[in-house]
Each structure stands twice: as structure tokens, then as C-alpha cells.
């Protein structure tokens, strides 16, 4: 029962994100630039991961598996630590690369935060997916 509720929460979050994206897209007055298309693509990729995770949680619930087993916790913990250490370098590279592009100071903070948050999310999701497929060692 807990696994089904967990899957329903994942689908609700995905629907909420898609709803907010739709609201943003339809209420925009200016035409989209490359950054907006990139943001939409990254957000759709993140929603795809959430839906995939929800489908896996539903399959596990039908099989009677516990959604929070010890291996899943270890994989999540290892993915979080690896993503954190990689994201520190991502932030440094991003800040150095930001000096190469001419962005006004008002949008510079929004740009850095948006790219950083999406990058950290994608790094965590890809590492989590990789570790769940390959597995982790016992060290």
C-alpha cells in the first residue's frame, strides 16, 4: 500500500510540473530563445525520469516489493554523494564559462541558478539511473 502511495505522489509531482510548464508556455508574451527551449527540454527529461520512477514503483508495488529497501537507500546515498562532488565542479566551470557570455546583470543570477539547479538534478538522476542498472560495490 505504501508503494502505491509513493507512485501516486510521483505521478502527482510530474503532473504538477507539466501543469506549471504549460502555464508558463501559454502565458509567455515574448518568443522563446535557445535558453527557453533548453529549459523546456531539460524539464521534460526530468519529468520523464519521474514518470519512469513512478512506473517502476507501481511495478514493485504489484510484485509486493518494499519501496525503501536497503539497496535502494545505498544507491540513493551513493548517487547523492557522487552528484554533490560532481556538481561542485559543474558550478565552478559554469561560473568561469559565464564570463565568456554577455548577459545583463539582472538575468545573470537567474541564469546561473536555473542552469545550476537543472544541472544538479540531471547529474543526480543520471548517476542514480546508472547505479541502479550497474549496481554498487560493498565498499
Q: Scan for cell 507512485, then name that residue.
A: 7
C-alpha to C-alpha distance for 46 and 17, rounded to whole angstroms: 10
Q: How confident is the model at residue 58 (pLDDT cuts 50, 70, 90)?
A: confident
Domain parsing of the chain, residue ranges: 1-67, 69-139
Cα gap 109→126, rounded to integer Å: 26
Provide the mean pLDDT of the chain. Answer: 83
Q: What percent of the chain has pLDDT over 90?
A: 16
User: pLDDT at position 105, please?
Assistant: 62
31 vs 111: which has the higher pLDDT: 31
Cα gap 30→62, rounded to integer Å:
46
Q: What is the pLDDT of residue 84?
A: 93
Give the C-alpha separation, 134 to 37, whole Å.
32
Q: 66 and 12 in contact (C-beta within 8 Å)?
A: no
Banded model confidence at residue 116, pLDDT cuts 50, 70, 90: confident
Q: Tell me, what's the pLDDT at 67?
A: 66
Backbone φ and ψ for 35, nearest 5 degrees, come out as: -65, -40
CA 67 to chain centre: 20
Read off the pLDDT of residues 3-48 as tens digits, 9 standing for 90 and up.
778 788 888 988 998 999 889 888 888 888 877 888 888 889 889 9
Amino acid at each position: 500500500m505504501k508503494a502505491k502511495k509513493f507512485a501516486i505522489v510521483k505521478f502527482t509531482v510530474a503532473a504538477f510540473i507539466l501543469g506549471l510548464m504549460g502555464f508558463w508556455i501559454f502565458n509567455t508574451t515574448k518568443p522563446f530563445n535557445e535558453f527557453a527551449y533548453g529549459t523546456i527540454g531539460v524539464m521534460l527529461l526530468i519529468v520523464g525520469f519521474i514518470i519512469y520512477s513512478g512506473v517502476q514503483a507501481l511495478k514493485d508495488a504489484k510484485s509486493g516489493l518494499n519501496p525503501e529497501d536497503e539497496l535502494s537507500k545505498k544507491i540513493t546515498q551513493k548517487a547523492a554523494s557522487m552528484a554533490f562532488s560532481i556538481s561542485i565542479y559543474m558550478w565552478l566551470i559554469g561560473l568561469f564559462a559565464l564570463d565568456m557570455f554577455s548577459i545583463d546583470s539582472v538575468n545573470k543570477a537567474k541564469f546561473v541558478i536555473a542552469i545550476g539547479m537543472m544541472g544538479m538534478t540531471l547529474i543526480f538522476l543520471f548517476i542514480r539511473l546508472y547505479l541502479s542498472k550497474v549496481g554498487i560495490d560493498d565498499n
